[in-house]
């Protein structure tokens, strides 16, 4: 299977964005499409990058991030359809994001994940991220803070 990757400076077209929301809901639970769309709306004024992986026009993965502060990029959201995992899609999305960041002059990429998402944690570590801290939320979830120097 050969995926096609599309990069958008900002948000993708509406139909693609709807496909991202559907995929996100399949992978992550507890958030309505309206809540996710509201989060997207809050990102409209940021320097956003969206990368989408498709297989025959079906969205099978995506990665979104934005400028956290000058020189520093935050890898915000992303996932791969469970039926398409272990094919290198997440790694390719990450590689493309980091290559783009380098060409735009970013020095670091930061991301957050949780211990429950071990595959993402391992992927980040394999791609050069270091765990630089933790954040405990009000609902007792511990979030790992990872950062990579480009």
Residue 1 has pLDDT above 80, yes or no: no
Residue 140 has pLDDT above 80, yes or no: no
User: Three-state DSSP class for 86?
Assistant: coil
Half-sphere exposure in the Cβ direction for 68 (13 Å, CA): 16
Contact 76, 60 (CB under 8 A): no
- Distance (Å, rounded) from C-alpha 141 to C-alpha 91? 26
pLDDT value at position 30? 78
User: Three-state DSSP class for 13?
Assistant: coil
- Look over the chain and give the mean of its residue pLDDT values, rounded to a whole number: 92
- Percent of the chain exceeding pLDDT 70 equals 99
Enumerate domains of the chain plus CATH numbers.
4-149 (3.40.630.30)
Residue 123 has pLDDT above 90, yes or no: yes
pLDDT in tens, 17-76: 999 999 998 998 777 878 887 888 888 788 899 999 999 989 999 999 999 999 999 999
- Triad 110, 112, 115: Cα angle to 5°: 140
pLDDT value at position 8? 96
pLDDT value at position 45? 82
- Distance (Å, rounded) from C-alpha 108 to C-alpha 32? 31
Q: Is the pTM of this model over 0.85?
A: yes
pLDDT value at position 115? 85
pLDDT value at position 33? 78
Residue 138 has pLDDT above 80, yes or no: no
């Amino acid at each position: 299977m050969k995926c096609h990757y599309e990069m958008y400076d900002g948000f993708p077209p509406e139909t693609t964005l709807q496909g991202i929301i559907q995929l996100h809901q399949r992978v992550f639970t507890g958030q309505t499409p309206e809540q996710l769309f509201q989060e997207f709306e809050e990102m409209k004024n940021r320097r956003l990058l969206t990368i989408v992986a498709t297989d025959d026009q079906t969205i099978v993965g995506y990665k979104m991030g934005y400028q956290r502060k000058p020189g520093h990029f935050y890898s915000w959201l992303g996932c791969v359809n469970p039926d398409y995992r272990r094919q290198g899609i997440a790694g390719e999305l990450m590689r493309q994001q980091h290559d783009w960041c380098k060409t735009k002059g970013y020095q670091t990429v930061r991301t957050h994940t949780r211990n429950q998402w071990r595959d993402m944690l391992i992927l980040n570590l394999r791609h050069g991220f270091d765990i630089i801290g933790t954040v405990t939320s009000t609902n007792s979830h511990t979030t790992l803070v990872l950062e990579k120097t480009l």
